[in-house]
Amino acid sequence: MHIRKPPPPCILLNNVSCMRNAQTILRNINVSVHDGSALVLSGANGSGKTTFLRMLAGFSRPSAGEILWNGHDITSPGVYQQYKLQLNWLSLKDAIKSKFTVLENVQWYEVLEGKDGKASLPALEFMGLGRLANDKPRMLSMGQRKRLQLARLLAIGRPIWLLDEPSVALDQEGVQLLEYIISKHRKEGGIVFATTHTPIEIEDAMYLRLPQRFPRRKTLVDLLD
Ligand SMILES: Nc1ncnc2c1ncn2[C@@H]1O[C@H](COP(=O)(O)OP(=O)(O)OP(=O)(O)O)[C@@H](O)[C@H]1O
């Protein structure tokens, strides 16, 4: 009888540690993520959530262990050239260009992707920014800027989303839209890594809470208790 092997995880972190500035920020992380999965990272300020995403993006190298994408080490140059084309990174720095209109700020990325730019307006409309498409981004509120970043995710359409605090500044409807697009992306086989301090509803997600790095000192909050 032929027994089918389960597929290897798309992304595997094998005993990964990461140092920054001569300090170990992440220690012995083991995670395996298959197509269609989500991993939600939580933890105190400074616990290493952004560092985790930076490592997945290839901006920081593991100081020990390995990160495998479909079985290949992402730090090997030939692999990284392919791997980075799978990634869509949403960070707190929104990379919105003030000289471009709202629409151009999405289209620019879509065209860089080799696409015709036609997905940008529908993506903005979906995120509730259609009527602001021809305005300059200085007209946008913080939450609207975050919606613009999410419209980029939709228009570019890469499979692995690295989302650093995607719900920050979003109103309730914005969070629902975020949850919806994450769910849709996963149904299409995409992978989502998201850091958060606030609950986001992601069905069947894996959760990883990073430990506090230093013994916690008393803060004003403790003194008020
Ligand atoms: N550019 C840097 N160089 C060296 N160390 C850094 C750098 N940026 C951050 N760190 C350190 O790395 C540690 C983890 O930071 P990181 O930004 O990953 O935490 P985080 O969990 O995302 O925090 P937050 O919840 O505040 O966003 C912190 O102790 C921080 O001081």
Q: What is the pLDDT of residues 28-59, one digit of tens each?
A: 999 999 999 999 999 999 999 999 999 999 99
Using the mean position of ligand 1's atoms as its centre, give its distance from the Cα of residue 164 in Å. 12
What confidence score (pLDDT) does residue 200 get? 86
What confidence score (pLDDT) does residue 213 get? 74
Using an 8 Å Cβ cutoff, are 48 and 213 in contact? yes
- 220 inside domain: no
- 3 inside domain: no
Using the mean position of ligand 1's atoms as its centre, give its distance from the Cα of residue 45 in Å. 8
Return d(Cα 144, Cα 163) in angstroms, integer. 17
Using the mean position of ligand 1's atoms as its centre, give its distance from the Cα of residue 26 in Å. 11
Ranges under pLDDT 70 in the chain: 1-8, 214-223, 225
**Close Cβ partners of 3 (under 8 Å, ≥ 6 residues apart):** none
- 59 inside domain: yes
Using the mean position of ligand 1's atoms as its centre, give its distance from the Cα of residue 46 in Å. 5
- 78 inside domain: yes
> Residue 88's beta-bridge partner residues?
161
- 221 inside domain: no
Using an 8 Å Cβ cutoff, are 200 and 40 in contact? yes
- Give the ligand 1 atom nearest the CA of 44: 25
Using an 8 Å Cβ cutoff, are 73 and 13 in contact? no
Using the mean position of ligand 1's atoms as its centre, give its distance from the Cα of residue 20 in Å. 8
Q: Which of 26, 27, 51 to mutate to test the pocket of ligand 1 (most atoms within 8 A of CB)?
A: 51
- Give the ligand 1 atom nearest the CA of 213: 29
Chain centroid, CA 41 distance in Å: 10
For 108-123, how does the pLDDT look when each residue is reduced to its tens digit (9 = 90+)?
999 999 999 999 999 9
Q: Which of 23, 25, 198 to mutate to test the pocket of ligand 1 (most atoms within 8 A of CB)?
A: 25
- 218 inside domain: no
- Count the domains in the chain: 1
Nearest CA, atom 2, ligand 1: 20
Terminal-residue alpha carbon distance, the chain: 65
Quote the tokens at residue 116: 């015709």
CATH assignment at residue 46: 3.40.50.300
Best CA proximity match to 177, nearest among 160, 154, 155: 154
What confidence score (pLDDT) does residue 215 get? 60
What confidence score (pLDDT) does residue 212 get? 83
Nearest CA, atom 18, ligand 1: 48
- 222 inside domain: no
What confidence score (pLDDT) does residue 9 get? 75
| Residues found in the chain | 225
Residues with CB under 6 A from ligand 1: 20-21, 25, 43, 45-51
Using the mean position of ligand 1's atoms as its centre, give its distance from the Cα of residue 50 in Å. 7
Strand bridging mode 23-33 / 11-20: antiparallel
Range of the domain at 104: 11-211
- 195 inside domain: yes
